[in-house]
Structure 1
């Protein structure tokens, strides 16, 4: 019984000691230093993304010409058509294609169930806007950005490409595709900012840490599969 009582009292005593420490200037200074150190650690991955991709971001006007433009999935409407964000990405990719800055499209997204198919929805959108069917190649296993980048290089043989995504995501896409072995430049969709856009920006803070892990560890994608040569003719 004494041991039980002592165990129960331990957190209380520890909390009281912590409270007393925080009431001293030395304790408050150490608490501030600890919080500052944690904040720096949390921002390191985002800072790495910022610094490592600055020279690789372009607009539609100044993007270089590359064989392929890679478009990342960004959700579907209830009727299966591209979400506003995904339509924005596709429209940006169409601008690049019409300016002669890309010869073909690799549309990569989620198709983990029969009633949700981002790559087919993206292909249908591009075909309706006048792109020939043989210039659109689908990657059905782009479940994560790293998966899309690694599969683009290892499965589809992409060696250099333009990447299209929202501004808040494009840095991560560029960093991961370059780590996967692709000479990549990123073009961010310039659509108006809304609540979802700001949510996406905040989400990129923890996502930057995950991206750093992917760059360091380079895990295999969820699905790899055999090589696909459909883009070879456009290199």
Structure 2
């Protein structure tokens, strides 16, 4: 019985150390290229500004998080810091389409179609950035997303050899912010695992 307890305790310590190390590593690797919106003039110019998918309501209304990402991307584009806007997200259902809903939002705000790149295969952050590199041949990007999400997104972007910087897109106070931060700490572990096994996105082409 003591051996079992010792083994379980040792295993717990091992995985806890991996958990802590991974989260610290990801944050520290991204911190130097994270910008607030007030620092927009300091952001290096890139090929695209990326809008990652997030919840939409009835294929008509963006969630607060997605709206903040889209509005930040629009401002970055209009500041001539990115030539195009790369919209990635979940499009698996005709009744739920993050990309189409976001594109309509951009169009209504004067973004020309020629400057919008649509990625229908961005089921998660890993897939969005893997496809940005290997499907759309993007070599530089600005990531416009929430502060809790930005370190992981930048870490993955750099891992795919995309020159990148990130803008904190928090323009609302999010009701579930504590939950988002807690979930992100687990998502960091998933991201590291996906990189280690060189996972192929669900939609790889």
Where do residues 149-168 of structure 1 align in structure 2 (5 Å cutoff)?
A: 149-168=129-148
Q: 2: distance between equivalents of 1:53 and 1:41? A: 18
In 2 relative to 1, CA 214–36 (structure 1 residues): closer, same or farther, beyond 3 Å? Answer: closer
Tell me what 1:181 maps to. Answer: 161
Is contact 1:72–1:165 with CA below 8 Å preserved after alignment? yes
Is contact 1:74–1:86 with CA below 8 Å preserved after alignment? yes
In the TM superposition, what is the alpha-carbon distance from 1:33 to its structure 2 partner? Answer: 8.4
Aligned residues: 201
Matched, 1:44 2:18: no
Is contact 2:23–2:189 with CA below 8 Å preserved after alignment? yes
Q: 1: distance between equivalents of 2:191 and 2:26? A: 9
TM-score by length of 1: 0.78
Q: Which has the higher helix share?
A: 1
Is contact 1:169–1:204 with CA below 8 Å preserved after alignment? yes
Higher radius of gyration, 1 or 2: 1
Tell me what 1:55 maps to. Answer: 32
- Tell me which of 151, 170, 175 is aligned to 2:150: 170
Name the structure, 1 or 2, with higher relative contact order (CA <8 Å, separation 6+): 2
In 2 relative to 1, CA 96–33 (structure 1 residues): closer, same or farther, beyond 3 Å? Answer: same
Q: 2: distance between equivalents of 1:38 and 1:172? A: 19
Is contact 1:119–1:138 with CA below 8 Å preserved after alignment? yes
Q: Which runs of 4+ in 1 moved over 3 A?
A: 31-39
| Secondary structure in structure 1 of the residue aligned to 2:167 | strand
CA RMSD of aligned residues (A): 2.2
Tell me what 1:145 maps to. Answer: 125
Is contact 2:91–2:97 with CA below 8 Å preserved after alignment? yes
Gaps of 5+ in 2: none
In the TM superposition, what is the alpha-carbon distance from 1:32 to its structure 2 partner? Answer: 8.8
In the TM superposition, what is the alpha-carbon distance from 1:66 to its structure 2 partner? Answer: 1.0
- Tell me which of 101, 108, 111 is aligned to 1:121: 101
Matched, 1:105 2:90: no
Gaps of 5+ in 1: 1-13, 22-26, 226-235
| Secondary structure in structure 2 of the residue aligned to 1:112 | coil
Q: Deviations over 1:134-169 (max 9, x none)?
A: 111110010011110010011111000101111100
Q: Deviations over 1:179-224 (max 9, x none)?
A: 1221111112122433322211110111111111122222111112
